């Protein structure tokens, strides 16, 4: 059974720039790096209330995923409009403008400067789970 989100991995043609951009967005540095052939090929951040993992792999070392269905992962945020605007200010482009999906669930998504879709969501259920655990 699925127990929850663990790692979401994006690819980037310029891993150094992806690292810099996401370090600024998240206000942290990656906690993990992996080298391949003497160069950094993968970086990973731990973020959020449950230390979810967000990884970036240099596209040259990424597995070929052509022909797959792809996915969109949403990350919980407290202030969706402010987060969406910040992402746009940082150079992301709109993918899906904020929209209510139901009471307590608002989603939006952007395409980051590296071609990945990044989803954000205000999710009351998520907040309720955090409150129960805290």
Pairing of strands 93-102, 105-111: antiparallel
Q: What pLDDT was estimated at residue 132?
A: 86
Map out the domains of the chain as residue ranges: 1-63, 71-134
Enumerate residue ranges in the chain where pLDDT < 50.
none
Buried b (16+ CB within 10 A) or exposed e, 13-26: eebeebbebbeebe
- Specify burial of residue 90 (Cβ count, 10 A radius: 0-12, 13-18, 19+): middle
Q: What pLDDT was estimated at residue 70?
A: 60
CATH code of 71-134, in short, is 3.10.180.10
Q: What pLDDT was estimated at residue 121?
A: 92
Identify the CA nearest to 57 among candidates 22, 88, 81: 22
Tell which CATH architecture fits domain 1-63: 2-Layer Sandwich (3.30)
Residues 57-69 pLDDT 10s: 998 888 766 555 5
* Cα 131 from Cα 127, distance rounded (Å): 6
Q: What pLDDT was estimated at residue 25?
A: 97
Common-topology check for domains 1-63 and 71-134 = no
Q: What pLDDT was estimated at residue 129?
A: 84
């Amino acid at each position: 059974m699925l127990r929850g989100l663990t790692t979401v991995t994006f690819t980037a043609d310029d891993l150094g720039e992806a690292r810099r951009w996401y370090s600024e967005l998240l206000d942290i540095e990656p906690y993990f790096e992996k080298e391949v052939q003497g160069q950094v090929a993968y970086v990973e951040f731990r973020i959020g209330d449950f230390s979810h993992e967000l990884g970036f792999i240099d596209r040259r070392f990424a597995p070929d995923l052509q022909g797959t269905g792809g996915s969109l992962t949403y990350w919980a945020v407290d202030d969706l409009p402010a987060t969406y605007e910040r992402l746009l200010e940082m150079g992301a482009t709109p993918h899906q403008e904020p929209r209510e999906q139901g009471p307590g669930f608002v989603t939006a998504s952007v395409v980051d400067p590296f071609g990945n879709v990044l989803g954000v969501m205000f999710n009351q259920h998520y907040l309720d789970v955090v409150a129960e655990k805290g």
